[in-house]
């Protein structure tokens, strides 16, 4: 399972929130909390249909063709509704990794 699919599944199952709360229950902006907040903001901005298309693709494992047939739309339309979200999830993950590396570097330099 790729990183994007893993994070989307983790978010929709509630696992991301549980893990984040376990790491830090004070609502501090830890890397995990930043990812959770960014993904919450992203998914809150989507329509119900877009969320359902994401769920069908990444939670249920349906193909573009299967999702398209459920909505009676083309695969291209499904792609147009889901790909921007997937790209944003990739960016969220990349930013979190970059921030984590910066934090680790600063921690090492302080020692």
pLDDT in tens, 71-104: 999 999 999 999 999 999 999 999 888 876 655 5
Record the tokens describing residue 67, joined without a space: 């999702």
> ∠ CA(40), CA(92), CA(81), 5° rounding?
70
pLDDT of residue 21: 86
Distance from C-alpha of 54 to C-alpha of 83, rounded to nearest angstrom = 9
pLDDT at 42: 96
Which token pair is 13? 């199952």
Comparing 26 with 20, which gets the higher pLDDT?
Answer: 20
Cβ contacts of residue 64 below 8 Å, gap of 6+? 57, 75, 78, 79
CA 18 to chain centroid: 15
pLDDT at 24 over 80: no
Would you place residue 61 in the very low, low, confident or very high pLDDT band (cuts 50, 70, 90)?
very high
What per-residue confidence (pLDDT) applies to 22? 85
Q: Is the pLDDT of residue 2 over 80?
A: yes
Residue 91 pLDDT? 95
95 vs 84: CA distance, rounded Å: 16
């Amino acid at each position: 399972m790729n990183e994007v699919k893993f994070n989307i599944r983790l978010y929709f199952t509630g696992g991301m929130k549980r893990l984040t709360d376990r790491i830090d229950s004070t609502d501090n902006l830890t890397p995990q909390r930043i990812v959770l907040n960014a993904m919450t903001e992203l998914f809150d901005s989507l329509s119900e249909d877009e969320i359902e298309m994401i769920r069908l693709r990444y939670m249920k494992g349906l193909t573009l063709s299967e999702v398209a047939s459920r909505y009676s739309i083309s695969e291209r339309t499904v792609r147009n509704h889901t790909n921007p979200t997937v790209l944003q999830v990739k960016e969220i993950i990349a930013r979190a990794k970059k921030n984590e590396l910066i934090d680790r570097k600063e921690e090492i330099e302080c020692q």
